[in-house]
Amino acid sequence: MIHSYPLKSLYGDYVRTLIGLVFMGVPFYFAFPNLFMTTIFGGLTLLFLVFGIRTALRHVTAIQTSPEGIAVVGLVSKRIAWSDVAKVDLKYFSTSRDKKSKDGWMQLKICDASRCLKMESNLSGFEQIVSRVAAVGFHNGAEMNETTVENFTAMGVTVDLPDEDEGDG
Amino acid sequence: MLGYVTRRILVMIPTLIVISALVFIIIQLPPGDYFTTYMNELQSQGEAVDPAKLEFIKQQYGFDKPMIEQYFLWLTGMLQGDFGYSFEFSRPVSEVVGDRLWLSFVVSFTTILFTWIVAFPIGVYSAVRQYSVGDYTLTFFGFLGLATPNFLLALVLQYAAYIWFDTSIGGLMDPKFIDQGWSVDKALSILEHLWVPVLVIGTSGTAGMIRRLRANLLDELHKQYVVTARAKGLPPGKALVKYPLRMALNPFIADIGNLLPEVISGAAIVSIVLSLPTTGPMLLNALQSQDMYLAGSFLMFLATLTVIGTLLSDLALGMLDPRIRLGGGAAK
For residue range A113-148, list pLDDT tens digits in order.
888 888 888 888 888 888 888 888 888 888 887 778
Q: Is residue A167 part of a domain?
A: no
pLDDT above 50 (res A168): no
Q: Is residue A165 part of a domain?
A: no
pLDDT above 70 (res B326): no
Predicted complex ipTM: 0.74
Q: Over chain B, what is the mean pLDDT?
A: 79
- Predicted pLDDT of residue B331: 41
Q: Do A52 and A67 reside in the same domain of the chain?
A: no
Q: Is residue A95 part of a domain?
A: yes
Chain B neighbors of A154, CB-CB under 8 A? 324-329
Q: Do A94 and A118 reside in the same domain of the chain?
A: yes
Q: Do A41 and A82 reside in the same domain of the chain?
A: no
Q: Domain range spanning residue A40?
A: 2-59
- Predicted pLDDT of residue B328: 41
Q: Domain range spanning residue B233?
A: 100-320
Q: Is residue B45 part of a domain?
A: no
Q: Is residue B72 part of a domain?
A: no
- Predicted pLDDT of residue B133: 92
Q: Do A102 and A123 reside in the same domain of the chain?
A: yes
> Which SS3 state, helix, strand or coil, does residue B48 take?
coil
Q: Do A69 and A112 reside in the same domain of the chain?
A: yes
Contact between A37 and B11 using a beta-carbon 8 Å cutoff? no
Q: Do A72 and A140 reside in the same domain of the chain?
A: yes
Percent above pLDDT 90 for chain B: 2
Show which of A23, A39, A59 is a domain's final residue: A59
CA distance A132 to A157: 9
CA distance A12 to A121: 14
Q: Do A52 and A79 reside in the same domain of the chain?
A: no
CA distance A83 to A136: 8
Q: Do A81 and A110 reside in the same domain of the chain?
A: yes
Query: A5 near A122, Cβ under 8 Å?
Result: yes
For B:61-80, CB contacts with A below 8 A are 76, 79-80
Distances (CA, A) of B116 to B119, B122, B191, B301: 5, 10, 19, 25
- Predicted pLDDT of residue B329: 41
AA letter at B151: F
- Give the β-pairing of B91-92 and A105-111: unpaired
Give the model confidence (pLDDT) of A43-99 as tens digits. Answer: 999 999 999 998 888 888 888 888 888 888 888 888 888 888 888 988 887 766 655
Q: How many domains does chain B have?
A: 1
Chains A, B: CB pairs < 8 Å: 102
> What is the rounded average pLDDT of the residues B6-17?
87
Query: B59 near B35, Cβ under 8 Å?
Result: no
Contact between A155 and B326 using a beta-carbon 8 Å cutoff? no
pLDDT above 80 (res B250): no
Q: Do A38 and A79 reside in the same domain of the chain?
A: no
Q: Do A69 and A147 reside in the same domain of the chain?
A: yes
CA distance B301 to chain A (A): 13
Distances (CA, A) of B26 to B74, B97, B307: 14, 20, 19
A29 interfaces chain B, CB cutoff of 8 Å:
no
Q: How many domains does chain A have?
A: 2
- Predicted pLDDT of residue A112: 87
Q: Do A19 and A101 reside in the same domain of the chain?
A: no
Strand partners, B322: none
- Predicted pLDDT of residue B236: 82
Give the model confidence (pLDDT) of B212-242 as tens digits. Answer: 888 888 888 888 888 888 888 888 888 888 7
Distances (CA, A) of B84 to A16, B28, B101: 32, 15, 17
CATH of the domain at A131: 2.30.29
Chain B neighbors of A27, CB-CB under 8 A? 79
Q: Do A73 and A114 reside in the same domain of the chain?
A: yes
